[in-house]
Amino acid sequence: MSSHTGTHEDENLPGERETAHGEVANRENPFADPGLPPHEPRKQDIDERAAKRSERTVALLFTVSMLATIGFIASYVIFPIDQMVTIWPLGKISALNFSLGMTLGIALFCIGAGAVHWGRTLMSDHELIGERHPIEADEETKQKVLADFHQGAKESQIGRRKLVRNTMFGALALVPLSGVVLLRDLGPLPEDKLRHTAWAKGKMLVNQNTGEPLRPEDITVGTLAFAQPEGLEEGSHDFQKEIAKAAVMLVRLEPNDIKDKRELDWSHEGIVAFSRICTHVGCPVTLYEQQTHHVLCPCHQSTFDLADGARVIFGPAGHPLPQLRISVNDEGYLVAEDDFAEPVGPTFWERG
Amino acid sequence: MSTTSEAPKRRGKAPAGERVADWADGRLGIYGLAKANMRKIFPDHWSFMLGEVCLYSFIIIILTGVYLTLFFHPSMAEVTYHGAYVPMQGVHMSEAYASTLDISFDVRGGLLMRQIHHWAALVFLVGMFVHMMRVFFTGAFRKPREINWLFGFLLLVLGMFTGFTGYSLPDDLLSGTGIRFMEGAVLSVPVVGTYLAFFIFGGEFPGTEIIPRFFVAHVLLLPGIMLGLVVAHLILVFYHKHTQFAGPGRTEKNVVGMPLLPVYMAKAGGFFFLVFGIIAIISATFTINPVWVLGPYRPDQVSTNAQPDWYMGFSEGLIRAMPGWEIVLPGGYTLALGVFIPLMIFPLILAAIAVYPFIESWVTGDKREHHILDRPRNAPTRTAFGMAWLSLYFVCLIGGGNDLWATHFHLSINAITWFVRIGFFAVPVITFIVTKRICLGLQRRDREKVLHGRESGIIKRLPHGEFVEVHEPLSQEQLHTLTAHEQYKPLEIGPEVDENGVARKVGRVQKLRARLSRGYYGEGNQIPKPTVEEYKELTSGHGH
């Protein structure tokens, strides 16, 4: 145990353990440490036949491991990569993955089991005692180190020549700034990029599944239709970035059911278009309850009421889904009247 | 060691092994190292294996991870898939996702390596978590091991983020959703959130930079730091020598167990193969993260039951349970508290367990080294705190899987969310109280056992008809083991005035410390262990 600091703070500490190890049974103190109990021999220590059995078991395990490795190589050669097999109770699984994994697993496991069995039954199991030594240096060593340090510090004159010291600290403090500045080009500045999407006045709403422009009659009561702006091609350079903001969903409501006045104004014959990007952390909202007109985000269960301005009625989202104002163009296709009036997706500091 | 004229002359050459060792010793000083360590003593207890599980799964992750880098392309360039997996042929996807499909369907054994890598990562994090709990509940974090506790804690945190960056790499629908979540969380940071998000993603979400950047973090930066920490962790384990439980012959000044060579080497070395073998067999039989089912990531698509890997689940629970508070400040700025508060609680929960050793040592004022482990019952307040922390963790974990709970147990998702909101505050308090009562009860039972012996199960009928159970007295080994623990006395700040009647200055910090100390060790917060006198009094008079 380390030396006590000797202040009054130690008074609440319990005393040192009363007994040192190895003390023989003590009649005065029945709780005293009786010392290590005598070693009890194992079967293998006494009976050479038992020891032989252990030896054979270990050797058998190592042999099985060797066979399993050969099995691994054979499986690699034999099984085509696309062959499926039905193995109870796992069902239909890849023959190659199963055979490679099992043979590798057995090869490894048997090495481990053999080594542990060897260690437990054949190697000596006499408990040994090692001494611990306090980690803290003795006083003499400590004084020597401190003296060396003061000597070194004195010889460097760092304490005496404050100008050198302070300018050195200044230089060392400034130099990492270069590294920070270099990080500037990790990305462009946000500017107003989060405020704009691919939607604009007159852009047709395109069905995401068919790629065809949507007409009002395509939107039937009780279904959720997914749309994207015309001209957005999957696989194109900007597709992921644009769809991350522009994805909308359409539902047809009874105009009388729409409780929010602006929602009604921005709808067309009861068809409303809302951003699909959840205002919580940006998952796409996909689950629609047609009776209640609630939509649910499957990630964190934010629930929005599409009949009431997509108001949040449950969950961690902080504000409604933005609505896209729509109408119909001369050819009878649904079009956007404008971009979203507010940023879509998760809230951010400058959102306002 | 160099030969001198005094060295005994040997006939002929030394054996080859010895000559190699001599050569190495002349350059590395290995004999000096081996002298101290070759027969180093390691105590034996099943719970000491938990750290080994972590070390071995870490090695397995590195081995399989190196293999995976040979085939994985960390690129978000859009390609059209033409590989062996028919359902995805002709689908647009990133190169990262396509190469993950190739590893799974075109590289023989690639799927096995992927699955071993992922399973081992789950085992690694479970292992670290349970190992940390073992260290916590047995008080193994006490001096001199506080720094090693912090190293271990850092490994857990880095392991979580290495796992997150790892399962994000395939760029499948699920992992992309996780990255989207991260973007939303970063955006919620006041003032700099949008800038941070644009710098992390190299522009707007998702951009084309995040997978390559995650890749570098996942294969180089984070595991590099972790490897260094693992080495430091192990060096300190060697240097401090392992802790041991109290028992006959075991003291604070010794370490009792088996020598490194041969027993510990056989058992620990063998255990590596056991862990690797079991993970390989699991990977052969149970599919993990079947990214081919999920499809490539598109920001406008999502699968239901979107769940992170388990170790990220508690942060998910925080974000799901938090009400959607949003405050628009004058000037047109928005505080997204509904996301930002959980984002801040996440590190705070982790920090609470990390700093605990320092709080406890401050309360006890104990500056001595501790090498004998506590039984959890003998440190009721610590154990109660640990259980309260665990219960908080599991409440959050329930929140993180609220949709799974709802669908599997036919519960209302709203009800579960409300349970998490209330439970977040209530469950840890209840757990703390209950755990402390249980610990004190177990202490009483130990006290009974020491004073009155072990219940033998033998019922004796006395001449006058009374039935009694025969209690067998404990052996001295058992008596010693059950009474070896130390009991602190609560810290007293002393009288308000000193002996001269002058008011003493007692700082607020000191008062808090005294109060905490009473809470730890005061009356009713620990059961006094039996004394020799009590034992003698009970055993001398009547022998039952």
What are B9-67's pLDDT values in tens digits?
Answer: 566 788 999 999 999 999 999 999 999 899 999 999 999 999 999 999 999 999 999 99
Q: Are A116 and A228 members of one domain?
A: no
CA distance A153 to chain B (A): 28
- Whether residue A76 and residue B109 make contact (CB cut-off 8 A), yes or no, is yes
Domain enclosing residue A182, as ranges: 55-128+140-186
Q: Would you tell me how many other CB atoms lie within 10 Å of the CB of residue B440? A: 17
Res B439 pLDDT > 80:
yes
Min distance A79 CA to chain B CA atoms (Å) = 9
Nearest to B257 by CA among B268, B242, B272, B271: B242
* A128-131 vs A91-94, strand pairing mode: unpaired
Domain membership of residue A282 (yes or no) is yes
CA B334 to chain A, closest CA, distance in angstroms equals 5
Same domain as A182, residue A60: yes
Is B181 within 8 Å of A123 when comparing Cβ atoms? no
Q: What is the CATH number of the domain that holds A284?
A: 2.102.10.10
B188, B193, B199, B202 alpha-carbon torsion, rounded to 10°: 40
How far apart (Å, rounded) are the C-alpha atoms in residues B454 and A57? 39
Is 50 exceeded by the pLDDT of residue B543?
no
Q: Model's pTM, two decimal places?
A: 0.93
CB proximity B275 to A under 8 Å: yes
| Domain-embedded: residue A22 | no
CA separation, residue A247 to residues A176, A227, A232, A259, A262 (Å) = 43, 6, 11, 24, 21
pLDDT value for B10: 61
For Cα atoms B411, B416, B420, give the angle at the middle one, nearest 5 degrees. 160
Residue A177 lies in a domain: yes
Short-list B280, B137, B224, B75, CA closest to A65 = B280
Peptide bond into B144 cis (omega under 30): yes
Residue A259 has pLDDT above 60, yes or no: yes
Same-domain check for residues A331 and A215: yes
Give the model's pLDDT for residue A1.
35
pLDDT band at B542 (very low <50, low <70, confident <90, very high): low
Residue B404 pLDDT greater than 50, yes or no: yes
What burial class does residue A205 get, using C-beta atoms within 10 Å of its C-beta: 0-12 exposed, 13-18 middle, 19+ buried?
buried
Lowest mean pLDDT among A165-169, B223-227, B464-468: B464-468
Say whether residue B109 is in contact with chain A using an 8 A CB cutoff.
yes
Using a CB-CB cut-off of 8 Å, the residues of chain A touching B84 are 81-82
Question: For residue B85, what pLDDT is reported?
Answer: 95
Chain A hits for B413, CB-CB cut-off 8 Å, are: 301
Q: What is the 3-state secondary structure (H, E, C) of chain A?
A: CCCCCCCHHHHHCCCCCCCCCCCCCCCCCCCCCCCCCCCCCCHHHHCHHHHHHHHHHHHHHHHHHHHHHHHHHHHHHHCCCCCEEEECCCEEEEHHHHHHHHHHHHHHHHHHHHHHHHHHHCCCCCCEEEECCCCCCCHHHHHHHHHHHHHHHHHHCCCCCHHHHHHHHHHHHHCHHHHHHHHHHHCCCCCCHHHCCCCCCCCEEEECCCCCECCHHHCCECCCEEEEECCCCCCCCCHHHHHHHHCEEEEECCHHHCCCHHHHHCCECCEEEEECECCCCCCECCEEECCCCEEECCCCCCEEEHHHCCEEEECCCCCCCCEECEEECCCCCEEECCCCCCCCCCCCHHHC
Contact of B299 with chain A, judged by CB distance below 8 Å, is answered with yes
Q: What is the pLDDT of residues B171-222, one digit of tens each?
A: 999 999 999 999 999 999 999 999 999 999 999 999 999 999 999 999 999 9
CA-based nearest residue in chain B for residue A82? B105
* Together in a domain, A314 and A331: yes
- Tell me which chain A residues have a C-beta less than 8 angstroms from the C-beta of B258: 125, 127-128
Q: What is the mean pLDDT of residues A138-152?
A: 97
A-B Cβ pairs (cutoff 8 Å, strict): 399
Non-local CB neighbours of A56 within 8 Å, separated by 6+ positions? none
Radius of gyration, CA atoms only, chain A: 38
Q: What is the ipTM of this complex?
A: 0.92
Give yes or no for residue A81 having a pLDDT over 50.
yes
Note whether residue A170 is domain-resident: yes
Whether A220 and chain B come into contact, CB under 8 Å, resolves to: no
Give the length of chain B. 544
Q: Are residues A119 and A174 in the same domain?
A: yes
List of chain A residues whose C-beta atoms are within 8 Å of the C-beta of residue B248: 33-37
Residue range A219-231: average pLDDT? 91
Question: What is the pLDDT confidence band of residue A290, given thresholds at 50, 70 and 90?
Answer: confident
The H-or-E segment that residue B414 falls in is helix B413-452
The partner residue sitting opposite A98, judged by closest CB among B191, B285, B322, is B285
Residue A303 pLDDT > 90? yes
Copy the structure tokens of residue A135: 């980690």
**In the structure encoding, which two tokens stand for residue B256, read together?**
């009792």
Q: Do A2 and B369 touch (CB under 8 A)?
A: yes
Residue in A123, A131, A347 closest to B262 by CB? A123
**pLDDT class of B493 with cuts at 50, 70, 90:** confident
Q: How confident is the model at residue A13 (pLDDT cuts 50, 70, 90)?
A: low
In total, chain A counts a number of residues equal to: 352
> Can you state the angle between helices B380-400 and B110-137, rounded to 10 degrees?
150
Pairwise CB contact (< 8 Å): A116 & B271: yes
Q: What is the share, in percent, of chain B residues with pLDDT greater than 90?
A: 85
Interface check A96 vs B, CB under 8 A: yes
pLDDT confidence bin for A7, thresholds 50/70/90:
very low
Minimum Cα–Cα distance from A248: chain B residue: B300
B532 touches chain A (CB under 8 A): yes
Supply the mean pLDDT for chain A: 91
| A109 lies in the same domain as A172 | yes
Cis upstream peptide for B206 (omega within 30°): yes
Q: What angle do CA A175, B223, B140 make, to 5 degrees?
A: 100
Per-residue CA distances from B500 to A11, B176, B496, B513 (Å): 22, 72, 11, 25
Q: Say what the pLDDT of residue B306 is.
A: 81
Identify the pLDDT of residue A23: 40
Residues A271 and A331 in one domain: yes
Residues A182 and A203 in one domain: no
Query: Is there a single domain that holds both residue A306 and residue A198?
Result: yes
Q: Does residue A10 fall inside a structural domain?
A: no
Question: What's the pLDDT at A21?
Answer: 41
Assigned token pair, A24: 């023989």
Question: Is residue B64 within 8 Å of B282, Cβ to Cβ?
Answer: no
Label residue B340 by pLDDT band (50, 70, 90).
very high
Say yes or no: A211 and A328 in one domain.
yes
CA–CA gap between residue B381 and residue B358 (Å, rounded): 15
B272 touches chain A (CB under 8 A): yes
Is A236 or B450 the better-scoring residue by pLDDT? B450
Binary contact (B200, A108; C-beta < 8 A): no
Contacts with B368 (C-beta within 8 Å, 6 or more apart), sequence order: A1, A2, A4, A13, B143
Mean pLDDT throughout B142-170? 97
Q: Which residues contact A232 (CB under 8 A, 6 or more apart)?
A: A198, A206, A239, A242, A243, A246
The pLDDT confidence band at residue A8, using thresholds 50, 70 and 90, is very low
Checking if the pLDDT of B139 tops 50, the result is: yes
Query: Does residue A231 belong to any structural domain of this protein?
Result: yes
pLDDT at A45 over 60: yes
At B150 the three-state DSSP class reads: helix
Confidence of residue A5 (pLDDT cuts 50, 70, 90): very low
Which residues numbered 4-63 in A keep a CB inside 8 Å of some CB on B?
Answer: 4-5, 9-14, 17, 19-22, 25, 28-37
pLDDT attached to residue B7 = 52
Smallest Cα–Cα separation from B401: which of B320, B324, B522, B480? Answer: B320
Same domain, A168 and A257: no
Residues A105 and A220 in one domain: no
Q: Where are the alpha helices (DSSP H) in B29-172?
A: 30-37, 49-69, 95-105, 110-137, 146-168
Confidence (pLDDT) at A27:
63
Give the pLDDT score at B507: 85
Cβ–Cβ contact B184 with A under 8 A: yes
Cα(A2)–Cα(B321) distance, integer angstroms:
48
Least confident of A100-109, B126-135, B334-343, B456-465: B456-465
- Asked if residue B236 lies in contact with residue B147, where contact means CB atoms within 8 angstroms, the answer is yes
In a domain, A1, yes or no: no
pLDDT at residue B491 in the model: 86
Number of domains in chain A: 2
Residue B448 burial (10 A CB sphere; 0-12, 13-18, 19+): middle
Interchain proximity A101–B263, CB inside 8 Å: no
B322-328 mean pLDDT: 94
Q: Is A211 on the interface with B (CB under 8 A)?
A: no
Residue with tokens 């269960």: A301
Q: What mean pLDDT comes out for the span B214-234? A: 98
Give the rounded percent of residues in chain B with a pLDDT score beyond 70.
Answer: 97
The answer to the question of residue A276 being in a domain is: yes
Q: Burial level of A46, CB count in 10 A (0-12/13-18/19+)?
A: exposed
